[in-house]
Chains A and B, each alone.
Chain A
Amino acid sequence: MSKLAILGARIIDPANRLDDIGDVLVEDGKIAGLGRAVFADGLAEDIKTIDANGLILSPGLIDMRVVTGEPGAEHKETLASAGIAAAAGGVTSMVVMPQTNPVIDDISLVDYIMRRGRETSPVKVYAAGALTKGLNNTDMTELGMMAEAGAVMFSNGENAIADTQLMRRIMAYSSTFNALIAHRAYDPYLSKGTCAHESEFASRRGLPAAPALSERIMAERDMALVELTGARYLLDMVSSAETLPAITRAKKRGLDVNVSVSINHLALNELDIGDYRSFAKLDPPLRGEDDRLALLAAVNDGTIDIIVSAHDPRPSGEKRRPFAESAAGAVGLELLLSAGLTLVADEQLDILALLKAVTSNPADLLGLPQGRLNIGAPADLVLINPNTPWVCDADTLSSISRNTPFDERKMQGKAVMTICDGVVVFEDGVG
């Protein structure tokens, strides 16, 4: 019987709309008590205590979009290194995307990811199965058998499925298993060969660019297919203001539509590309400030359900190239929470909306018991100091790859202790 007491924390639990000072008792990896009166009769002597001293205690974060290099490109990131980065960022559950080598398109790969996650990662690892075999955009995968094997969702990686008949069948077929279908919304023809958001900025820089409309066109198509098929759908990483009304309409009509956004698109805009900084080359591309503000508002009002790190490790050899030739993507597991807290400190993002989008909303969507502070739920917790100012230094990140557009940026707030199943997996200066 291992016991842990966290005393005097500001407990924020979006699932239960709780924001109050109190204590938490953890027993055998589960939450056993919570509130002001848990230790009214005093503390047992054998119990380990942590004095939170007013720090925020939240459910550990659930990151629904993590690309790793395992299997196939372990020089970029392993499940172990990603797990360490996650723990350092307050993330206690991560969903691994299928764009590995080989692609996660078979039950044996789903099984491999889950097993390697258990064996090597300090935090929980879940697998997203591919929608098409080898991400080939033509043949549906064994969605049902992968779901039975434990895949928590399905995705086609960065590839959009242009074939509407195929997408219709995938959605219809998956509805039997109530599987969650995540899809990157962009028109592959409109976006082909581009590396930036179509705007005056991109024009001036001479960067081949795709209009935001590319995203909206595919989103509108997908919503129509959801209506036809009754699928559970996740619009994977919305990036433009133009797409948001389509989402609002779909939700009003009662469709099972959810939307995620990457932390990068909430914190940065196209001007962060500056003088062709390829570390700010992302997919979808960074867009205008109007887009960023609209995305923030959509998180605050609940139109956007999920915030993801969009963790995508790239060795510097893939990034230190001319902008158009550079790989897109940034690591984010370690920065998701801090970048979000920085937006909270800047009064751009509501803290409850932020935490909801990284705890209870993803948990509900994936059908996981964590992400909430219920009695009996897994003790996946993060202690947060929201006030620590610090400067991001890419060289100190835990990931094997350290490609981040936040390098040298001033941040405010960070995880100071991360607990997964009652075990402290990260600690940085709690008194």
Chain B
Amino acid sequence: MHNAHSIIGFSARHLLSVTDLNRIDIDLLLSLGESYLDLSVQKDSKNSVLAGKTLVNLFFENSTRTEKSFELAARRLGAHVINMSIAQSSTSKGETLLDTAATLNAMSPDLLVIRHGASGAPALLAQKVSCAVINAGDGTHEHPTQALLDALCLQQALAQDGRQLDGIRIAICGDIMHSRVARSNIHLLKQLGCEVRLIGPPTLLPTDADRWGVEVFNDMKTGLEGCDAVMMLRLQIERMGGAFVPSKREYFHFYGLDREKLDYARDGAFVMHPGPMNRGVEISSDIADDPEISLVTKQVEAGVAMRMAILYALSLQGGNT
């Protein structure tokens, strides 16, 4: 059996928020995730640590990447996977979240992955089901598995130069206000010893974000200075037309990552994006596609590995080891 010993000491029962994890949990997940990055380990059928277990993907919002990433991770560990897209299912028939929970519970899944448009929905569900619940994005609250995979990905990239996450400076740029990815990343990166900066127009920054132990900037030039990594966020099309920012053109001019703005960061700074990208809005194509600096594809690879680590760690918490 693959390194079951390496997750002894993992404390979390659910993964609803990055704050569910202590530093030991985080280090365990990162090291387990690292081992799964090796495709020979990832695809080794002898590693079917979830054989006989059932994972339910419960997606109240459409998502292709995250759902497939969880599905692949679970299958590579030998689990049964059921995908439920509720966006066009029961809620339209009037069923409440708790009705859905009761129905699901009756099916006795071992792991429940949920994405929901309302902040706090996974936490509510976790109170009503008897299996481990994993938050795959809730409203504008958190997306903890994305933050963990980002950390794994960046850690690997830094390791190429013999560097580590502790002590680096990273800027998260763009629509912080509506971003669950940003909220999870801020907390996780700070736990890992990073200096975190937020950059965006005042209309896209959450109120009192400066109290989160981060520095807040409205200007890419000063904000990116000395950054080792730049994490760009997606700006939803409907927020570009004059409500939050005047236009795509102006947003890209002031906040879109191009070579000129990237030059403000440290030489060789890495660029990340949780996807899907709006090319020419928050990031220029030549940066997104530059394998020397862009980690975008590596983030997707790290996604499957990290989710395998998370599923494995949480499956053991059910007491079924």
List residues of chain A with CB under 8 Å of any chain B CB: 132-133, 138-145, 166, 169, 172-173, 175-176, 229
- Is A173's CB under 8 angstroms from B253's CB? no
Given contacts A132-B242, A140-B245, A140-B246, contact A176 B202 (CB under 8 A): yes
When distances are taken between beta carbons in the complex, the residues of chain A under 8 Å from B247 are: 142
A175 & B202 in contact (Cβ 8 Å cutoff): yes
Chain B positions within 8 Å of A143 at CB level: 246, 250
Which among A132, A133, A144, A175 is the interface contact of B253 at CB below 8 angstroms?
A: A144
- Write out the residue numbers on chain B whose beta carbons fall within 8 Å of the beta carbon of A139: 241-243, 246
B87 to chain A, nearest CB (A): 28
Q: How far is the CB of A253 from chain B (nearest CB, A)?
A: 20
In the complex, the answer to whether B243 meets A142 with C-beta atoms within 8 Å is: no
Contact B201 A176 (CB under 8 A): yes
- A142→B254 CA distance, assembly (Å): 11
- Judged by a CB distance under 8 angstroms, whether B46 is at the interface is no
Q: Does the CB pair B246–A142 fall under 8 Å?
A: yes
Q: How far is the CB of A13 from chain B (nearest CB, A)?
A: 36
B100 at the interface (CB under 8 A from A): no
- Give the shortest distance, in Å, between A147 (CB) and chain B (any CB): 10
A338 → chain B, closest Cβ, in Å? 41
Residue on A with the closest CB to B202?
A172
CB B258 to nearest CB in A, in angstroms, measures: 15
Does residue B219 face the partner (Cβ distance < 8 Å to A)?
A: yes
**Bound CA–CA A406/B40 (angstroms):** 90
- Kindly count the residue-residue contacts between A and B in the assembled complex, taking CB atoms under 8 Å apart: 48
Query: Which B residue sits closest to A230, measured CB to CB?
Result: B202
Q: Are B202 and A173 in contact (CB under 8 A)?
A: yes
Contact A176 B242 (CB under 8 A): no
Q: Does the CB pair A169–B244 fall under 8 Å? A: yes
Which residue, of B245, B246, B247, has the highest number of chain A Cβ atoms within 10 A?
Answer: B246
CB < 8 Å: which of B202, B242, B243 contacts A229?
B202
Q: Give the residues in chain A near B243, CB-CB below 8 Å.
A: 139-140, 166, 169
Complex: how many Å from CA A173 to CA B254? 12
Q: Which residues on B are within 8 Å of A, measured CB to CB? A: 201-203, 218-219, 241-247, 249-250, 253-254
A172 and chain B: residue at smallest CB distance: B202
Alpha-carbon distance A169/B177, docked complex (angstroms): 13
Q: Which residues of B contact A141 (CB under 8 A)?
A: 242, 246
Q: Check B202 against A145 for contact (C-beta < 8 Å).
A: no
What residues of A have a CB within 8 angstroms of the CB of B249 in the complex? 142, 145
Instruction: Please give, as numbers and ranges, the residues of chain B lying within 8 Å of A173 by CB-CB distance.
Output: 201-203, 244-246
**Given known contacts A166-B243, A229-B202, what 20 new A-B pairs fall within 8 Å (CB)?**
A138-B242, A139-B246, A140-B242, A140-B246, A141-B242, A142-B246, A142-B247, A144-B246, A144-B254, A169-B203, A169-B243, A172-B201, A172-B202, A172-B203, A173-B201, A173-B202, A175-B218, A176-B201, A176-B202, A176-B218
Distance A266 CA – B253 CA, assembled complex (angstroms): 43
27 A-B interface contacts by CB (under 8 A)? A132-B242, A138-B242, A139-B243, A140-B242, A140-B243, A140-B246, A141-B246, A142-B247, A142-B250, A143-B246, A143-B250, A144-B246, A144-B250, A144-B254, A145-B250, A166-B243, A169-B203, A169-B243, A172-B201, A172-B202, A173-B201, A173-B244, A175-B218, A176-B201, A176-B219, A176-B254, A229-B202
Contacts of B241 in A (CB 8 A): 139
A176 to B203 Cα, complex, angstroms: 10
Cα distance, A145 to B255, chains bound together (Å): 12
Q: Whole-angstrom distance between the alpha carbons of A142 and B248 in the complex? A: 10
State A143–B253 Cα separation when bound (angstroms): 12
Q: How far is the CA of A144 from the CA of B245 in the complex (A)?
A: 10
Nearest residue (CB) in A for B247 is A142
Please name all residues of chain B whose beta carbon is closer than 8 Å to the beta carbon of A145 when the two chains form the complex.
249-250, 253
Chain A residues lying within 8 Å of B218, measured Cβ to Cβ, are 175-176
CA distance A169 to B219 in the complex (A): 17
